[in-house]
Amino acid sequence: MLIDTHCHINIMIKKDFDILLSEENFELAQIIIDQAYNNDVKILLNVGTSLIESINSVNLAKKFTSVYAAIGIHPNDLTQNFKQDLKEIEKLLKNKIDNKIVAIGECGLDFHYPDYDIKKQIEAFKMQIDFALENNLALVVHSRDAYQETLEILYQFKDSNLHGTIHCFSYDLNFAKESINLGFKIGIDAPITYPKNNVLREVVKSINLKDILLETDAPFLPPQALRGKQNHPLHIKTIAHFIAELINVDYDLVSTQTAINAKEVFKFT
């Protein structure tokens, strides 16, 4: 059994961002979910990136048995009205069980693109950390070019029950160890298959398999053999096989242990 702990089916099935899903979109989602299920991907965590996409994530989770929802606002999707957007997201948490919400995010810090607003990003990140703590939910952390700042914020909550995953891990072994000590798993995506990504491969070889979650981030970041094409949750199997070979263990151990890890973090029912 495999679990994709981070995908965006809502983005795969429509042409534009921030529009609500239609019945036609749901029909396309059914195809994607069935393809994944038939490739042993039995649970999918669909992750929101904005208010509308979080609503879409919830609607997918409510419609499909194997799909669960994470809701939150990506640092690059913060609007001028982000506080109001987060209030609306908080309303979804009032029915978190019926809405199949198992995590907050993705949220965090992204200093990669010019003109980022560090103050706004930090404020939104902390607000969403509070959501996770108040609801005893996992936190899905997005961190890009914000190594020290991300750790500093997470350390502010080290004595709480904050837990979750560092999505699409792209830092070094020290960051991984610090994150694990803070209660986080390490999300590994298909970039581990990219030839130049030696640092990530060394991280995976150096940490315990019990600290790893598998992700696709579909439709983004396809495996090396499919670069330039749309990624798909079924390609989680490629990542699992790659890791098994990398750390010299059986594929079944990787699939089984990472599924156990995912259930521990997200409490899938």
- Residue ranges for the known binding site are 6, 8, 106, 142, 167, 217
End-to-end CA distance of the chain: 15
CA 116 to CA 120: how far, in whole Å? Answer: 9
> Which DSSP string corresponds to 56-106?
HHHHHHHH-TTEEEEE---GGG--TTHHHHHHHHHHHGGGTTTTTEEEEEE
Q: Which residues are annotated as a binding site for a divalent metal cation?
A: 6, 8, 106, 142, 167, 217
Residue pair 262/186 in contact by the 8 Å Cβ criterion: no
How many helices and strands, by DSSP H and E, does the chain display?
A: 10, 8
Q: Which helix (H) or strand (E) holds 212?
A: strand 212-214
Q: Which helix (H) or strand (E) holds 247?
A: helix 236-247
